[in-house]
Amino acid sequence: MNTAQYPAEVQSRFRSQLINRRARLERTIADLNQPADLLVLLSEVDAALSRLGDGSYGDCDVCQLPIAADDLLANPTAPYCLCELSPERQRALERDLTLAWRVQAALLPPADLALPGWQTHYRYIPSGPVSGDYCDLVVTEGRRAGEFYFMLGDVSGKGVAASLLMAHLNASLRAFARTGLAPQETLAEANRLLAGSTLASHYATLVCGRASSSGEVEIANAGHCQPLIVRSNGRIEALEATGLPLGLAVPAEAGARYAAEKVCLSDGDSVVLYTDGVTEAADALDSQYGDERLRSLLACCAGKSARDLVTRCLADVTAFLSGGALSDDLTILALYRSSRGSS
């Protein structure tokens, strides 16, 4: 197999990631006066671009068999597949991945939280050993007592690299939320950190919101799937993204600024957030679940509790797949408004 056998759009993504990575490395090398480790990375990028040019890109240096396109999209400079690992090293890798998932699972919030005026529930389903999806709920204290932050996002790529970036986001966003930053400011700060500390091929889409016991919700969206407001009468309202994904825009650019929308929820209303593992779930005929099916289902479930909404969504996705497997990580979070109390 050679480069020409990858679809044209995939080849274009390989090239774009490599060129972006090279540009960022060159800027960093200039700023840091040519550190040796970054020069090595730059040579790896140049070697990969050279393989793209001569058509050998994607062939494993060891076994000469093709490297999976998903693996190359996660690490576009990879020169080999897992063939060079001995059985012992493969078993060690499996143990490490199992431990990595346990660490990642420990970063997740409780599945059900009862907060003043709200009930919450989510499901977090990796498609592999670890996940690049991000989900968190942070209860505030002090002068902002009675409020909580909710965050849901998706790191580009899959596997260990995406899960590491997810953990980095988790620590940063929790710290920002606990200082009381507004959702749009939280996204701007997260973008600043991500743009300066990750490779060009990795970025994250993210929704950050803040809810109060009065039912008021502020939501800012960095290129993620549209948050859905599910009114108790069945009306669905979709909120647009208010900025670019985190890590794509440097802080000085206009694209790195975010805005927040405010909505007020009444009893029986809900906010539903999800990753594209829901809407892009594909059946055996490669048909996608889609936004319209999700919205239609939520309209039929209007007024249901957070747990009921999430459970019914997952049941419908499962029915749509007809026994097929998920091709991407899937996360869905529902916040249900109930002024009668938190229980």
Q: Report the alpha-carbon distance of residue 268 to residue 246 in Å, rounded.
A: 32
Question: Looking at the structure, do residues 76 and 190 belong to the same domain, yes or no?
Answer: no
Which pLDDT band holds residue 343 (cuts at 50, 70, 90)? very low
* DSSP bridge pairs for 136: 151
pLDDT for 144:
66
Residue 21 lies in a domain: yes
Residue 100 lies in a domain: no
Q: Write down the H helix ranges in 80-231.
A: 87-106, 159-178, 183-197
Question: Is 150 in contact with 212 (CB distance < 8 Å)?
Answer: no
The kind and range of the H/E element at 54 are helix 36-54
CATH of the domain at 266: 3.60.40.10
Lowest-confidence region among 226-235, 254-263, 321-330: 254-263
Residue 103 lies in a domain: no
Question: Looking at the structure, do residues 273 and 162 belong to the same domain, yes or no?
Answer: yes
Residue 6 identity: Y
Question: Looking at the structure, do residues 190 and 318 belong to the same domain, yes or no?
Answer: yes
Question: Looking at the structure, do residues 155 and 302 belong to the same domain, yes or no?
Answer: yes
Residue 137 lies in a domain: yes
Per DSSP, 117 falls in state T
Instruction: Give the rounded percent of residues in the chain with a pLDDT score beyond 90.
Output: 37
The rounded mean pLDDT for the chain is 82
Terminal CA-CA length for the chain = 58
Residue 128 lies in a domain: yes
Question: Looking at the structure, do residues 30 and 145 belong to the same domain, yes or no?
Answer: no
Which pLDDT band holds residue 217 (cuts at 50, 70, 90)? very high
pLDDT for 255:
45
Digit-coded pLDDT (tens) for 258-300:
899 999 999 999 999 999 999 999 988 889 999 999 999 999 9
Question: Is 179 in contact with 134 (CB distance < 8 Å)?
Answer: no
Question: Looking at the structure, do residues 194 and 246 belong to the same domain, yes or no?
Answer: yes
Is the pLDDT at 332 greater than 50, yes or no?
Answer: yes
24 is in which domain, residue-wise? 3-84
Question: Looking at the structure, do residues 200 and 62 belong to the same domain, yes or no?
Answer: no
pLDDT for 239:
94
Q: Is the overall model pTM greater than 0.85, yes or no? A: no
Question: Looking at the structure, do residues 72 and 118 belong to the same domain, yes or no?
Answer: no
The kind and range of the H/E element at 121 are strand 118-125
Residue 342 lies in a domain: no
CATH of the domain at 7: 1.20.120.910
Question: Is 137 in contact with 200 (CB distance < 8 Å)?
Answer: no
Digit-coded pLDDT (tens) for 21-51:
777 666 655 655 555 555 666 777 777 887 7
Q: Report the alpha-carbon distance of residue 267 to residue 303 in Å, rounded.
A: 8
Residue 343 lies in a domain: no
Question: Looking at the structure, do residues 64 and 200 belong to the same domain, yes or no?
Answer: no
Residue 7 lies in a domain: yes
The number of distinct structural domains making up the chain is 2
Question: Looking at the structure, do residues 80 and 119 belong to the same domain, yes or no?
Answer: no
Tell which of 84, 118, 140 closes a domain.
84
Digit-coded pLDDT (tens) for 118-174:
999 999 988 877 778 899 999 887 556 678 999 999 987 666 777 777 888 888 898
Digit-coded pLDDT (tens) for 72-98:
776 777 776 766 666 777 777 677 777
Question: Looking at the structure, do residues 55 and 122 belong to the same domain, yes or no?
Answer: no
pLDDT for 3:
52
Question: Looking at the structure, do residues 248 and 329 belong to the same domain, yes or no?
Answer: yes
pLDDT (mean) for 321-339: 88
Tell which of 15, 49, 84 closes a domain.
84
Beta strand pairing call for 112-115 and 118-125: antiparallel
